[in-house]
Amino acid sequence: MTDCQLYLHKKESLVSDKDIPQDQDCEIWFPNKGDHGLIIELTRLNIPCSKGYIHFSGLNRSLHQHYKSHKQSHLCGKLEELSEIDRRIYFPTSHTPPLMKLINRPIFSISYHLVDYCYNITFVTKNGSFELKPTGELMCTFKIYLPYGNRVALTLIIGDSTVTGESATSSFQDVPVEETKCEGLETSLYDGDNQWSHCTRSGDAERQIELVSRGCRVTLQVTVRGMDNGAIGLRMTYRAEPIEEIVGLCEFGWVAMRQFCLSVTEGVKLPWAQAEIECVRKGGHLASIRSEHAQDIVDNLLLNRYVLLFYIFV
């Protein structure tokens, strides 16, 4: 049991080994507000793995169940030896305070800041929805990552439902990019190289905006400024729209290759014979790449699969 415990209360700050007693291991407890998550960025690290390490822990069982969890036991070595993903840790909203343990006095430096509960919500299913009714300033990021061969059919309903008047319906091309700072609910959508932005202010009637993406991924950023009455809301729904020439009659997550349906399975590396047995167990066969066209299909499946951008500790 350590004798050194440091409790952090600021919403954002910098912490390094210079803040810690030099002759003790230490526990650092980060601020924990029920409606906020936490981002920690490691900016310096130097300790041989044979001597010590930094250990992060936390618990969350209520949100983000679609994330791939990564139970990282410790971080050690030098910062430049770690990937960008290793250096950035995200704790979703939780009732358990995030904890950082220092073993054998590692040299380190971190920055941390609290983020809103909707900071990094990622959808990977065939369809989904989310509703916001903000009562104060807010910054949200919604990411929709669909498998290769699907477009995102997105519907946004933005505005004040209590305002009388006829609701407007717009398409992606009809809504211009806002150039001035939005005092209200600002919605920005990124679809590949395309960007669209819309500002909704108090008193604006509801507007329904519909679009179909060019690719299989879109990012929706929502920023709320200067609002405290909760009158303006946003409802987002989406569904996967399969591209017939790529998907054919295959199920969600699969693509057509001649008369077959093809998918990628991630997991333990297996020799060819064992991999074939595993595929048969799942009702299929291991695919052989016999042409440039087949290789292109597999490349697109791999390049467009959902990749974890943060470690999620559960």
Number of Cβ within 10 Å of residue 224's Cβ equals 23
Segment 274-309, tens digit of pLDDT:
888 888 888 888 888 888 888 888 888 888 876 544
Model pLDDT, residue 168: 54
Model confidence at 102: pLDDT above 60? yes
| Residues 6 or more apart whose Cβ sits within 8 Å of residue 89 | 39, 40, 41, 42, 56, 310, 311, 313
Phi/psi of residue 17, nearest 5 degrees: -65, -20
pLDDT (average), residues 4-17:
93
Residue pair 115/38 in contact (Cβ under 8 Å)? The answer is yes
User: Using CA atoms, how far apart are residues 10 and 111, in angstroms rounded to an integer?
Assistant: 12
Model pLDDT, residue 134: 83
Residue pair 118/104 in contact (Cβ under 8 Å)? The answer is no
Model pLDDT, residue 73: 56
Model confidence at 101: pLDDT above 90? yes
In sequence order, the β-bridge partners of residue 97 are none
pLDDT (average), residues 143-157:
95
User: Using CA atoms, how far apart are residues 154 and 287, in angstroms rounded to an integer?
Assistant: 33
Model pLDDT, residue 167: 52
SS3 38: strand
SS3 91: strand
Model confidence at 103: pLDDT above 80? yes
Segment 227-268, tens digit of pLDDT:
766 678 899 999 999 999 999 999 999 999 888 898 887 766
pLDDT (average), residues 111-129:
91
User: Can you give the length of the chain in residues?
Assistant: 314
Residue pair 6/20 in contact (Cβ under 8 Å)? The answer is yes
Segment 161-211, tens digit of pLDDT:
777 655 555 555 545 555 678 888 999 999 988 898 889 988 888 999 999
Q: Identify the DSSP state of 245.
A: H
Segment 32-64, tens digit of pLDDT:
887 788 999 999 999 999 999 999 987 533 333
Model pLDDT, residue 307: 54
> Helix H segments across the chain?
244-247, 272-281, 292-303
With residues binned 3-state (H G I as helix, E B as strand, rest as coil), the percentages for the chain, rounded to 5, are 10, 40, 45
Give residue 310's pLDDT band: very low, low, confident or very high (50, 70, 90): very low
Segment 66-78, tens digit of pLDDT:
333 334 458 999 9
In sequence order, the β-bridge partners of residue 29 are 7, 99
